[in-house]
Amino acid sequence: SSEVLEAIENVIQDVLKSLAQKKAPVLTLADRSNWRNIEFKDSVGIQMIPHTTTKQVRMDCPRSAHKFALILKLLSMIYKMVQSNTYATKRDIYYSDTLLFGSQCIVDNLINEISCMLKIPRRSLHILSTTKGFVAGSLSYTEEDGTKVNCTCSATAVTVPSNVQGIRNLISQAKFMLIVEKDATFQRLLDDDFCNKMSPCIMITGRGIPDLNTRLLVRKLWDTFQIPIFTLMDADPHGVEIMCIYKYGSLSMSFEAHHLTVPSIKWLGLLPSDLERLNIHKDALIPFTKQDQKKLASIQKRPYIACQPMWKRELEIMAASKLKAEIQVLTSLSSDFLSRVYLPNKLQFGGWL
């Protein structure tokens, strides 16, 4: 906490120095949305380069004065929370002054900017994000406050903890971990008792694009158990994008890649090549939108695709067909095809990339 306080004090001192010299104060932020500031490393995924291009938030510029004020406001809130050892969610912060902040999205983005500027992980700023992910299967642990949690597979899943760093005494008999893109598929596998039927496993869903806590938990489980991790996504550009976030990280959080990515993650399904192999009827597939084409083209250009020839081939199949499929398409073969045939065969015969 002293490191956080010191980092904030340094920023404020620079502001005061500029004011004393009758100069307009300036905050310098790394340009987090620029791929040129990113390098790809096999062992980490995409991470920010040490000397990034920056952007300035000036107090004397009408375009950025409001942003400057918001950053100082957030710094003062963080400073008070760290000093008093209290925590707030990003939602609490937004609702503390909705007129000032304007939208939740602005708060979320500024918190990431501050975390990157101070070079301090977001959870050390005493800001918690609301968790939306679920976990189930062969896993038990103790939360920071001493609560014992058992995720053993039943019809209900456990919410991913809001303080992943604080959990301890992790115990599991799992042979593998399965990350499921969508909540509906996750619930279906729970209903089919997949965690116990196949072999003990841990299932996780971020319910779409994963939040920070879900990504932290996947990483923590990997560090603790070192078991294979597979992903089950829709065969569409959005599903591939989500899988890449778990495996290689995201552009906006590349400055924290070391805590968040698991480069050993494997793509289990739904593979574009599976659709042909399983004779899925064309009528059950969905035509690409312009947005899908754009998204796929941008993924194909990313630095990590070049070192994944098998992935590259799957993306080419998808691009050529201009068709996408949701995991639910497998129910056209039989209602429990996913848990009874598809996943067991894939896991038994090594059908992953």
Active site residues: 95
> What is the distance between the alpha carbons of residues 309 and 315, in angstroms, rounded to a whole number?
10
> What is the distance between the alpha carbons of residues 147 and 151, in angstroms, rounded to a whole number?
13
**Nearest residue to 302 (alpha-carbon basis) of 258, 244, 256, 263:** 244
Neighbouring residues of 32: CB distance < 8 A, sequence distance ≥ 6: 48, 112, 113, 116, 251, 252, 254, 255
> What is the distance between the alpha carbons of residues 184 and 157, in angstroms, rounded to a whole number?
12
Is 71 within 8 Å of 112 (Cβ atoms)?
no
Backbone torsion region of residue 120, taken as left when φ is above 0, otherwise alpha when ψ lies between -120 and 50, otherwise beta: beta
> What is the distance between the alpha carbons of residues 242 and 261, in angstroms, rounded to a whole number?
12
**Secondary structure (3-state) at 8:** helix
Residue 319 token pair: 């691009």
What separation in angstroms does the CA of 168 have from each of 139, 148, 199? 12, 10, 24
Neighbouring residues of 17: CB distance < 8 A, sequence distance ≥ 6: none
Is 185 within 8 Å of 338 (Cβ atoms)?
yes
